[in-house]
Chains A and B, each alone.
Chain A
Amino acid sequence: MTFLRQLAKSAGFGSVVGVGVMLIAFTLIDFSGWWTARTLSNVIHFTSILGLIAIGQALVIISKEIDLSVGSVYGLAGIAFITLEPSLGVPGSMAAALAIAALCGLAQGILVVWGGLPSMIVTLGGLFTFRGVIYVWTGGSVRNFSTDAREHWLTRLFGGEFLGFENALLWMLLMLAVLSVVLKLTRFGNHLLATGGSAESAESRGVRIDRVKIATFVICSLMAGFAGIITLADRPQTHVTIGDLLELEAISAAVIGGCLLSGGRGSLIGAVLGAFIVTSFRYELIALGAPSSWFITFVGIVLIVAVIFNQKLARWAGHNV
């Protein structure tokens, strides 16, 4: 009983309930469309990619900031990976793409912390700037991956399959495990939670909140960049609008997963479950034959319902939010 109570009070509980309700609903209304290998494999693939981004977003939200630029960073890193490959080779372009992503996060983090600007404005600027850089850089069209590059072992490592599981899923689970440990069991994690909970108190205890926030922005951008690389390693055909509106999906996933925008509370597993819910809706709507645009409407509704539900849940658990 204590365990159940504990579980019910944890930040990710709402998303667990959400996943359960959703699966039952999908099974009841559309058994044959939902439980097909094709639908499930698509859902798992895109849950993995959105999950990676949502984990990074969750960390930023826990630090009481927000990152609206993840969709653009995701696109920029992916495009950089493909575009630089002919000149740098697969390993070189992969490293360069990650470095570009990290740089995006670093620049935004520094502007937020030392510029004293709201993260919403800074990352809104980043959303435009990085997307614009994609357009200007590629001139609107992206060349495709060569066959050699597709067969490169590093490309296969990120995009292929292993023991019947997509590597994207395995990478996402690995990052989830690593970052969950970092958040809950390390010094940095304690400082991150404290910074989001009460920056003033954290600072009075000697926590360097500026460094913590910058590091969090860098991690978030790296995760988005990593997701971009994985996407393109798996399915190299692409378009310059890649990652458009993805920031909305990532924020939705993190919020559905129990991250409170008031900072200091959140769950990375919840964020991944949130990504699962968001992605599932997309494919269920496709399976039902609805126009794809209804997906955006549904994500919007789920986002609002989830955030209100999670807030009530947190208040019921006795938190002051």
Chain B
Amino acid sequence: MSLAALKPIIRKHSEIGIFLVAVFLVLFFVATSEGRWNNAYNISTILQVTATLGLMTLGVALVIGTGEIDISVGSTFGMAALIYLFLAVRVDPAMAAFAAVAAGAAIGAFNGLLVTRTGTPSLIVTLGSLMIFRGLAIALTSGFAFSVPYKDRGALSYFILGGDNLFRIGTFPGVNTGFLWLIAGLVILSIALKLMPFGNHLLAAGGSAASAHSRGVRVDRVKLRAFIICGVLAGLAGVLEAGKLGSADGSMGRMMELQATASCVLGGCLLAGGRISLVGALMGTFVLSSIQSYLVVRAIPPQWFIVLLGLIVVLAALGDRKLRQWALKR
């Protein structure tokens, strides 16, 4: 099979690039880590990190699909984690989780309404809410303890919201329940995106807002929904992370908005909107968390992760563009 035969496949599936990168990286990590990377314990850690960041990434990918951007998710994540921990010990974990996710939805609605009603660029609006809710989170945590003691975490609701050791088989320590939430999120959103009118409207709004509008798509409403879903997912991710760790501070979720955006770019989502791949974005998340864990197991100073993250984001964007240009050339 010649290389040219791949072109139509690449044209249709923007996530191919990130799969190639992932395969290459996994082979490289396996070959160079002497078994310290590719063991059951490490893989399970990677999957757990992927689960929370991945949920957030799914939401960001939807917003990017509409041609907007949401960089407030890191703060939404942190706020939801704090609300969940605050209420879980006082009321009930399930109620607390509901309240936290609702808060995420409210932040999403706040962003979405400001973007659609005032026509302000989403980068600025979500930059503003990133700061507003980060400041709130830090202010809230000075003087309060936000933690759930381990002995109190026996109830079923605690297990569902971020409990450990699911699918424990032999030496494989299992995954966090967050992973199931991620799979559920991926399946539901993929169906909504590929098989429902909502997905069509969302991609149309991002591809050409004017054309979508002229065909009767309520672009504003579609965008608002995407922002709310994004807030909900970031909130849920925050709840799961807080449930797993049992404690949180004001800086929780910092820089995660950048990692989530990076995952989307890695996964072949076009920042201009109209073209996204949920599976690709999750693959991007997996690649980021794999690299992070590789640095840990190779005892490379963790600072390198930031350098690599930066270079990878730019190289991935560049590579994606070149690959696309190549694929478009018949």
Chain A directly contacts chain B within the complex, with at least one CB pair under 8 Å: yes
Tell me if A129 and B310 are in contact (CB < 8 A).
yes
Q: Does B183 contact A (CB under 8 A)?
A: no
Given contacts A116-B321, A135-B303, contact A130 B310 (CB under 8 A): yes
The 0/1 profile, CB within 8 Å of A marked 1, for residues 264-285 of chain B is 0100000110000000000000
Residue of A nearest to B320 (CB): A117
Tell me if B309 and A303 are in contact (CB < 8 A).
no
Sorted nearest first, the 4 A-B pairs with minimum C-beta distance are: A128-B310, A297-B135, A129-B310, A132-B307
Near B by CB (< 8 A), chain A positions 152-189 give none
The 0/1 profile, CB within 8 Å of B marked 1, for residues 101-121 of chain A is 000000000010001111011
CA distance A130 to B22 in the complex (A): 25
Tell me if A136 and B139 are in contact (CB < 8 A).
no
Q: Does B301 contact A (CB under 8 A)?
A: yes
- Say which one of B29-37, B54-62, B112-120, B235-243 lies at the interface with A: B112-120
CB distance from A254 to the nearest CB of B (A): 10
Chain B at the A interface: mostly helix, strand, loop or mixed?
A: helix
Given contacts A293-B135, A293-B250, contact A308 B310 (CB under 8 A): no
Residue of A nearest to B318 (CB): A115
Near B by CB (< 8 A), chain A positions 199-231 give none
Known pairs A129-B307, A130-B310 / 12 extra A-B pairs, C-beta < 8 Å? A120-B123, A124-B261, A128-B311, A135-B306, A248-B131, A293-B142, A300-B133, A301-B128, A303-B127, A303-B131, A304-B125, A308-B120
CA distance A122 to B313 in the complex (A): 8
Residues of A near B293 (CB, < 8 A) are: none
Tell me if B313 and A128 are in contact (CB < 8 A).
yes
Chain A at the B interface: mostly helix, strand, loop or mixed?
A: helix
The 0/1 profile, CB within 8 Å of A marked 1, for residues 128-164 of chain B is 1111111110110010000000000000000000000
Q: Can you list 15 residue pairs at the A/B interface with Cβ under 8 Å?
A: A115-B321, A124-B262, A125-B312, A128-B311, A132-B304, A132-B309, A291-B138, A293-B134, A293-B139, A297-B136, A299-B131, A300-B133, A300-B135, A303-B127, A304-B124
Residues of A within 8 A of B (CB): 66, 111, 115-118, 120-122, 124-133, 135-136, 139-140, 248, 251-252, 255, 261-262, 291, 293-301, 303-304, 307-308, 311
